[in-house]
Amino acid sequence: MDSETIMRGITDRARKASCALSVLSADRKNSALEAMAKALEASRDEIKKANSIDLEEAERSGKNKAFLDRLKLDDRRVDGMISMFRDVKELDDPVGAVMEEIKRPNGLVIQKIRVPIGVIGIIYESRPNVTADCVSLCLKSGNAVILRGGSDAINSNKAVFYALKDASVKAGIDEGAFILVEDTSRQLVEAMLKASGGIDLIMPRGGESLIRSVSENSRVPVIKHYKGLCHIYVDESADLDMAEEICFNAKVQRPGVCNAMETMLVNSRIAEEFLPRIAGRLSSAGVVLKGCPETRKIVENSEEAGEKEFSTEWLDLVLSVRVVDSMEQAIEHIEKFGSHHSDAIITEDERRASEFVKRVDSSSVYVNASTRFTDGGEFGKGAEIGISTDKLHARGPMGLEELCTYKYVVRGTGQIRK
């Protein structure tokens, strides 16, 4: 069988399941989620054993430490998956919510009702807990999901997946609700990207090159973020103590993630006071500074920064720094180099804060807080399936509501169009 025929078989099963899932009660979904949490607990040893096979193979082939860390499933991470299933169980069912109700003069009642999107495809790399995240969120939001993880994590993914699947089928969930594509060949990914009509939405999760390749080749709609090149602009009116705490947190607390600060913009009127303070603190935490010429006049141990550095998502203890003459120039810099993910202003001037949040075109714009809060949990969504820097459908952290679309239900008493 060719890849497209195989994929058609997969999407047909998923589509059939999605019809059943879309009308499932919250109770039925929640008891399946509880059964799946218990199944992960019961399969803990099996999951860790399967994971150790992947880890050994990754070590043998010389993968780096960060890769091994993403791949690893230890007890703490299995616990995390289990409690995530219970957290998702506690969240409100998004399906069926009346988002809006319009009564028309002719007596028609038009309700805008939240419904699942249908069939979601996830293409991901080496993090096997993505398998559990996606299964739980798609089940609760009434979507079928087709999972295609990387070959490096295939044993781990299979162990997690089949523990969940067996439990869900026993709990009465359609067998096509979650499908793992075990064949990790390129041909099947290509067939997945061509499956418009069979898959409603593809979300790639992983490094920028994976995301770019999915996005450029897909005939199915894609929601994504390429990278998180986040800025903090320290305004002339900033409380400098607050600015120091926020900038330090946004860079150092967890530098490898998409909502960490990558570039700090400092207003020239406070640069001579602020830069030495924050530079000293960052340096003692091991942060390498890359500065514009003005920055380097003030911070002597700063390396040089130009267009290349300002375009780089460091994901590490490295920070680009630029002194700007005005908020205007900061906004221009963010527009030119930013990734529309998360950008902040530190200011005590409410008028300037308003201007900044109006004009910066990012999914999340902050006033006087760390960019590190862009996250489904921190936004009160309970969990997230990803973060979007696209503009259509969903922007920022995506939770259960963003895995839904809507339909209009129109009830009448015989109305006809005149």
Residues found near its own copies in the complex (CB under 8 A): 19, 22-23, 102, 104, 108, 110, 115, 117-118, 200-201, 216, 219, 221, 223, 239, 242, 245-246, 248-250, 253-254, 335, 353, 357-359, 361-370, 372-374, 378-380, 390-393, 395-396, 405-417
Q: Which amino acid is at 170?
A: K
Q: How far is the CB of 185 from its own copies (least distance, A)?
A: 25
Between residues 263 and 388, which has the closer beta carbon with respect to its own copies? Answer: 388
Q: What is the DSSP string of 31-66?
A: HHHHHHHHHHHHTHHHHHHHHHHHHHHHHHTT--HH
Separation of alpha carbons 55 and 376, rounded Å: 29
Tokens describing residue 117:
């999107």
Separation of alpha carbons 29 and 390, rounded Å: 30
- Whether 192 and 202 have beta carbons less than 8 Å apart is answered as yes
Residue with tokens 């003030």: 298
Q: How far is the CB of 361 from its own copies (least distance, A)?
A: 7
Q: How far is the CB of 128 from its own copies (least distance, A)?
A: 25
Q: How far is the CB of 409 from its own copies (least distance, A)?
A: 5
Between residues 53 and 409, which has the closer beta carbon with respect to its own copies? Answer: 409
Q: How far is the CB of 353 from its own copies (least distance, A)?
A: 8
Between residues 6 and 110, which has the closer beta carbon with respect to its own copies? Answer: 110
- Whether 276 and 298 have beta carbons less than 8 Å apart is answered as yes
Between residues 154 and 365, which has the closer beta carbon with respect to its own copies? Answer: 365
Between residues 37 and 394, which has the closer beta carbon with respect to its own copies? Answer: 394
Between residues 111 and 151, which has the closer beta carbon with respect to its own copies? Answer: 111
User: From edge to edge, which strands make up the β-sheet containing 144-148?
Assistant: 178-180, 144-148, 119-124, 201-205
Q: How far is the CB of 377 from its own copies (least distance, A)?
A: 10
Q: Which amino acid is at 359?
A: R
Between residues 45 and 332, which has the closer beta carbon with respect to its own copies? Answer: 332
* Burial class (CB within 10 angstroms; exposed 0-12, middle 13-18, buried 19+) of 216: exposed
Separation of alpha carbons 344 and 346, rounded Å: 7
Q: How far is the CB of 322 from its own copies (least distance, A)?
A: 21
- Whether 201 and 223 have beta carbons less than 8 Å apart is answered as yes
